[in-house]
Structure 1
Amino acid sequence: MKLDTVLLLFAFILAFLTGSITYQIRTDEEVDINDIKELNEINRDLQLNYNPILRLDLNNDYPTPSSLNLLREQTPITDKNLILNPRPTDCLKNKFNQMQSDFLDKETLWTSFLCKQILLLPRDFFSISPYIHPSGKSYAFMYYNLLPSSSKKQVWYKRNARFMHIEELKAIGWPLSENAQFLNSISQDKIDRILENEKVILTEDFYLLRTGNLKYFVLNADKAANYFSRAGYNLTLKTDNCFIKIGNVCWEKKPHNLISFLGQSSIILFAVTIFIFLLTANALYQRIKLKKMEEERKKHALRVLTHELRTPVASLLLQIEELTRETTQLPNETVENIYKIENEIYRLKRLAEKSKSYLQTQGDSDMQFHKNEIKVKEYLQEIIDEYPQVEIQLSVDRDFSITTDPYWLKMCITNLIENAIRYGSAPIKIEAAQDSEYCFFKITDQGTIQYQSLKEIARSKHENSKGLGLGLKIIQKTLKFLDGELHFSPNPTTFTIRFKRTVV
């Protein structure tokens, strides 16, 4: 097997292996229902194998949707002084609103209290919603700040801490409940995720697994990460390229050792594949280049030979012409030998002309065409007149004209006539006709031939048909440039040149 074929086959095998490995790796990385079930099973086992840091339950401290606002982000305060020290105009406006309205909302009551328009607030004022003043502060926290002594504040705090915002509890700094302490240790976005009841939540320090509505199993994040690692998963806070992502938790599946090795090897295989392809392409290029150089050398040798033959052939023809003038004085046997020599010289001349024509058709860019209108009957008669010693019959169905290159068309017809003379039998008949689509030139002789198609003639290795095949290749290529076609039918041997009338 040739080197370039081996290299090409090897490159295809490497490409197949690379593709297969990549497919296997990608298949291993695709999520299916079994992976989700596996993660759920790991989470259940996690709760059985570890004691939580905290079993978070917000339902007792924040039993209503309105109370959950005490955990949501506060609205920024624009003017702190207006919360506890309303201006006289604010008090007057508030009094006017009381007179105009049958119902007093919580904000109006609070402003009335601050403006000393009422002395006491209702007993359940702080325990009913809304808990947050439009300023962003809770009513319980604002009242806390009005108390004069630390002791009174402490008593108030113990009774009403659950009605204060989580950020306010952090600011006060008094002892907190276990739930409040935990909420103060995590960021606001994680609290928001708890309020959204996300299934799992991960922080820098904690792993939260939901066990019910606003209920979470809270575990140390490192312990959870180690547990998942042993189960074949990496637990991270990545935001993209996750194997499975639930909430803010990203699970990456740890590859098996073999798949990991092959995953790294696929890069090497890909690089080797590209290298082999380049090597193969270079080998093929070098072969084509060498073949082209060899063809050029052969063409050059043929050009030199053709050129060198022209002078001795012309000289021999002149000498033969001199001898044929004196044939009356020579014996008959000698005259026959002279005619045989003359025929061989003409054969040599035709061979040189065919070689020249072949070289011209091989250089496509060098072939020049000059299309002219020609009268078919007159044109064919001039060609026939060049063969006075051969019986050639001409038949033209209503004389017509075509537009083509007369030189190259003549070369094609002349080659077919000479093939008929050499390989066929007399008489030779040339027919020219046309129909609505095509015009035809048929060259027919009365000989028989063993081939059924042009392809068989071209492939033939028989000694008597080598020249025939070469000549037909020249004709086919030339007609292609003239937008024509060559057709063949045997017994009698008929070659047909066909042009489209719209073309020619």
Structure 2
Amino acid sequence: MRAYVALIGVAVLMAFLAGGTLLLMRTNERMVSGQDIAAISELKMSFQRDVGPLSIINISSYYYTNHHFKLTSPIYALPEFDRTDPSFYAHPGDCFKGVPELQGLFGHRKLVVWEELRCGMRTGLPEEFFEEPPFLHPSGSSFMYLAYLTGSPRFREMNWIIDRLPLFHVRELKNITELKGRLRGVFLILSELSEEELESIARGQGSVLTGKYLLARLIYKHAPGNLEYRVYDRADLDQFLSEADYTLMKYNNKRLCFFRDEELCWSPNSKKILERLNMSQIFLFIGCLFLMGVALAGLRNRLRDDRSEEESKRLALQTLTHELRTPITSLVLESENVSRDLEQLPTDMQDSFLRMSSEIHRLQRLTEASRQYLNVGREKGKVKLHPVQIPSLNEFLLDVARPFLEKGLIFKSNIEDRPFIMDSYWPSIVFKNLLENAFTHGVPPVEMLAEFSAGKLTIIVRDHGDGTELSSLKIGDEFQKGLKSSGTGLGLSIVKRSIFAMGGELKYSRNPTTFTVILRELKVST
């Protein structure tokens, strides 16, 4: 057995070594090295060299002033008025509401002109109305978009809209029905970005990764504020990285990142993990699995052999017990015959006979205990029950107690006599074992009390010892016995297993030594 344990230990150690290698690869996601950074930089350069962009967009060429640039950022489209529905400010109603409060601020005169138009106080707008800043209405929408929402044909004319595309806020472009399928270049790309991605553009971020594009900024020393981006197809990027050692995704502060590159996150390519394993590590892992398999197979065979050996021993003990019963019974009968004429024997012979008779009865108890234990141990330790109706519960208990009455047993039943369904054999074995244990190891007087309540039979066997011998033992374990016991240590094991098989309970307490057995009424087997 020790060899198998050692084999398992070696296999587990190898498993830790193999697993540690894989774990080390996982933990490398948190410990970027200079070599990793250099490899990622080289990968970025290779991508720009080998993969052509879809286009190059110069945002600054369309949004060249601070007022124009506000049309690309979501934060400048926050409404200053209570109403956030842009269509409200495109049609008559609540004219000039909130406008006086903005007097003195930049663009107040332009706001007044727009209110006069929508409320019917004027029929047209100044020629340069839309080209002059501010371009955003306090509602958060552009004046161009409010004009479009009025539904006026002059503000819906296609050429008029296309000539003034940079005067719309970029997030409004996708809402213009006439532009569907007609947007190109910078306006198409900006209209497809989320607010978070637009904010990244507005901050001048070096790289912006979206669901459809990768935008990589071009930096010019002579014009550091110029916003110009190479636009790559996301599908081309994924194809390029599929065979690389690293993958790319948007940075998320709720997820571990191997190497953060602004708002991008580089991670080792999981598909390359096996390629990073050398042959010795692979053999180590396979060897670990093989050793564990050998160890488990050996343990299985050992358990099978132990089970077979146990069954052989049990069969031998059953045979021996069976063969001993007949001569022991004959010896008991002969000793009882001789005991009738005991007084006729010489005094020294009487003492020898009594000692011999005591040993014969001890041998009989040993044989009976072994037989009972073997019966309990059949069929994987299950006790066979044969529930029958006992006509008189008091008579049954009295029959159990009768052999012990002459030894001084105090038997008391508080049961109003009634029938009771239980096994006819095992309860008597349980009670007799407890009584014999009390008389053999306990301090007299020994009491047996019977009670019945709520469908449960309660039997209490009590002697006046302190239970010291049993206190250090596991009550009911096989071959557990006190120092003064000359028995097999199987009695209480039989008691415990039998009670549990009958669905009952066994309780033990000290000072005085008390065993309490609680049995429930069984169902008659059909």
Q: Secondary structure at the match of 1:306?
A: helix
Does 1:370 find its partner at 2:391? no
1:492 paired residue among 486, 494, 512: 512
For 2:151, the equivalent position in structure 1 comes to none
Distance 2:291 2:283 in 1: 12
Identify which range, 309-318 or 432-441, moves more after superposition: 432-441
**TM-score by structure 2 length?**
0.53
Task: Tell me: CA distance 1:397–1:241, structure 2 relative to 1, closer, same or farther (3 Å).
Answer: farther
Q: Deviations over 1:189-230 (max 9, x none)?
A: xxxxxxx98669xxxxxxxxxx9969799xxxxxxxxxxxxx
- Structure 1 unaligned spans of 5+: 65-128, 130-195, 201-210, 218-234
Distance 1:263 1:401, change over 3 A: farther
Residues 313-357 of structure 1: CA distance to partner in whole angstroms, max 9, x if unpaired? 122122223323333544455445434433322221111110000
- The structure that has the greater radius of gyration is 1
Displacement after TM superposition at 1:381 (Å): 0.7
Match runs of 1:319-468 below 5 Å: 319-331=334-346, 334-364=349-379, 367-374=383-390, 375-387=392-404, 389-399=406-416, 400-436=418-454, 438-451=456-469, 453=471, 455-456=473-474, 463-465=483-485, 467=487
Judging changes above 3 Å, is the alpha-carbon distance between structure 1 residues 35 and 309 closer, same or farther for their aligned structure 2 residues?
same
Q: CA deviation at 1:359?
A: 0.6
C-alpha spacing 1:503/1:434, structure 2 compared with 1 (3 Å): farther
Q: Hey, what's the Cα distance between the residues in 2 that align with 1:46 and 1:332?
A: 115
In the TM superposition, residue 409 of structure 1 has moved relative to its aligned partner by 0.8
Residues in 2 aligned to 1:47 and 1:489: alpha-carbon distance in whole angstroms: 81
- In structure 2, stretches of 5+ residues that fail to align are 63-158, 160-211, 217-225, 233-237, 250-265
| Structure 1 segment 168-247 matched on structure 2, within 5 A | 237=240, 243-244=246-247
Q: Deviations along 1:265-316, whole A, 9 cap, x unmatched? A: 3332221121121122122223322322332232223212211211211221
In the alignment of these two chains, the number of paired residues is 339
The residue type equivalent to 2:282 in the other structure is I
Contact 1:25 1:263 in 2 (8 A): no
Q: CA RMSD in A?
A: 4.8
Give the deviation of 1:476 after TM superposition: 0.9
The 8 Å contact of residues 395 and 430 in structure 1, kept in 2 or not, is answered as: yes
1:19 paired residue number: 19
User: Which AA in structure 1 matches 2:396?
Assistant: Y
Give the residue type in structure 2 aligned to 1:469: G
In structure 2, the CA distance between the partners of 1:307 and 1:37, relative to structure 1 (3 Å rule), is closer
For the residues of structure 2 that align with 1:37 and 1:336, how far apart are their CA atoms? 100
Q: CA deviation at 1:417?
A: 1.6
Contact 1:31/1:243, CA 8 A, preserved across alignment: no
Pick one of 470, 479, 496 that aligns with 2:490.
Answer: 470
Using the alignment, how far apart are the partners of 1:339 and 1:216 within structure 2? 111
Q: Which amino acid aligns with 1:421?
A: F
Aligned position for 1:312:
327
Q: Deviations over 1:453-487 (max 9, x none)?
A: 47356586754236273211111111111112222
With over 3 angstroms needed to count, the CA separation of the structure-2 counterparts of 1:321 and 1:240, relative to structure 1, is same
- Checking the alignment, whether the CA contact within 8 Å between 1:57 and 1:215 is kept in structure 2 is yes
In the TM superposition, what is the alpha-carbon distance from 1:241 to its structure 2 partner? Answer: 7.9
Q: Sequence identity, in percent?
A: 27
Question: Could you tell me how far 1:432 is from its partner in structure 2?
Answer: 0.8
Q: Does 1:278 align with 2:293?
A: yes
How far does residue 28 in structure 1 lie from its aligned partner after superposition? Answer: 4.7
**Structure 1 pair 328–20 and aligned structure 2 pair: CA distance change class (3 A):** closer
Task: Measure the CA separation in 2 of the matches of 1:466 and 1:324.
Answer: 24
Q: State the alpha-carbon separation in 2 of the partners of residues 478 and 410 from structure 1.
A: 11
TM-score (normalised: structure 1):
0.55
Contact 2:53 2:230 in 1 (8 A): yes
Cα–Cα, structure 1 residues 253 and 443, in superposed 2: closer, same or farther, change >3 Å? closer
Q: Residue by residue, what CA displacement relative to the aligned partner does 1:146-177 show, whole Å, maximum 9, x if unpaired?
A: xxxxxxxxxxxxxxxxxxxxxxxxxxxxxxxx
- Structure 2 CA distance for partners of 1:268 and 1:334, relative to 1, 3 Å: same
Residue of structure 2 in register with 1:222 after alignment: none
Matching of residues 56-67 of structure 1 within 5 Å:
none
Q: Report the Cα distance in structure 1 between the residues aligned to 2:313 and 2:47, rounded to whole angstroms.
A: 86
In structure 1, C-alpha distance between the alignment counterparts of 2:457 and 2:496, rounded to whole Å = 17
Partner in structure 2 of residue 116 of structure 1: none
What CA distance in whole angstroms lies between the structure 2 residues aligned with 1:44 and 1:289?
A: 62
Distance 2:490 2:240 in 1: 77
